[in-house]
């Protein structure tokens, strides 16, 4: 089960009224390598991973939901005070007709969230998938920062990018743990 803390993992400040940014940010909400895909992938994979690294997938999967919430906050702040005309100009006309001002799980190109979440049931294949996904999410954050001129949003995105780096490192360590020879004596 989960406990909920009624605050964001890292503060989200949006300094510039630019609804177009919401269209780009939504990639990390409902995109193939976005936070929702990551959370669902890790929490699903944890059942068929050796016990030693099950907790890691549980913890990182949980943290991804905290990131999802930060992205949702950014998107909502950028769209809640926009007129339908402004949303149309920002390329969010279709989004508005379909979902109003609700945030929604689709990617920057408007494709609905793909439930084809990767999970192979082979510990090595799954962890390599996860490392690749973290690197892809890291680069998505870089491309969004490049396209954004809002230093406050970029501060929050910089935090999220750093978390991708830490997660990638932890998954790499998990691979090393699973590679360890079992007859080997461990000395501490």
Rounded distance between C-alpha atoms, residue 106 and residue 123, angstroms: 28
Q: From the candidates 27, 35, 63, 129, which is the catalytic residue?
A: 35
User: Would residue 35 show up in a list of annotated catalytic residues for this protein?
Assistant: yes
Contacts with another protein, residue ranges (CB under 8 A): 50-52, 122-124, 175, 178-179, 181-183
Minimum CB–partner distance for residue 50 and another protein (Å):
4
Residue closer to another protein by CB (options 132, 178) is 178
Residue closer to another protein by CB (options 98, 122) is 122
Q: 122: Cβ–Cβ under 8 A, 6 or more apart, which residues?
A: none
Our CA angle for 53, 162, 168, nearest 5°, is 30
Q: From the candidates 64, 95, 106, 129, which is the catalytic residue?
A: 64
Q: Are 105 and 39 in contact (CB under 8 A)?
A: no
User: Would residue 89 show up in a list of annotated catalytic residues for this protein?
Assistant: no
Residue closer to another protein by CB (options 15, 121) is 121
Name 106's bridge partners.
Answer: 112
3-state secondary structure at position 57: helix
User: Would residue 64 show up in a list of annotated catalytic residues for this protein?
Assistant: yes
Active centre residues (catalytic): 35, 64, 67, 134, 164, 167
């Amino acid at each position: 089960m989960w406990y909920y803390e009624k605050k964001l993992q890292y503060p989200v400040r949006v300094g510039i009224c630019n609804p177009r940014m919401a269209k780009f940010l939504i990639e990390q909400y409902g995109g193939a390598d976005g936070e929702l895909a990551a959370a669902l992938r890790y929490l699903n994979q944890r059942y068929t991973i050796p016990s030693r690294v099950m907790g890691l997938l549980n913890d990182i999967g949980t943290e991804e939901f905290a990131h999802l919430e930060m992205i949702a906050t950014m998107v909502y702040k950028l769209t809640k005070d926009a007129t339908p005309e402004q949303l149309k100009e920002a390329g969010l006309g279709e989004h508005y007709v379909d979902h109003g001002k609700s945030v929604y799980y689709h990617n920057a190109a408007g494709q609905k969230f793909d439930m084809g979440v990767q999970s192979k049931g082979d510990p090595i294949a799954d962890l390599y998938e996860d490392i690749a996904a973290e690197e892809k999410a890291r680069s998505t954050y870089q491309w969004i920062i490049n396209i954004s001129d809002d230093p406050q949003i970029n501060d929050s995105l910089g935090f999220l990018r750093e978390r991708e780096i830490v997660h990638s490192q932890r998954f790499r360590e998990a691979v090393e743990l699973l590679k360890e020879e079992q007859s080997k004596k461990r000395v501490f």
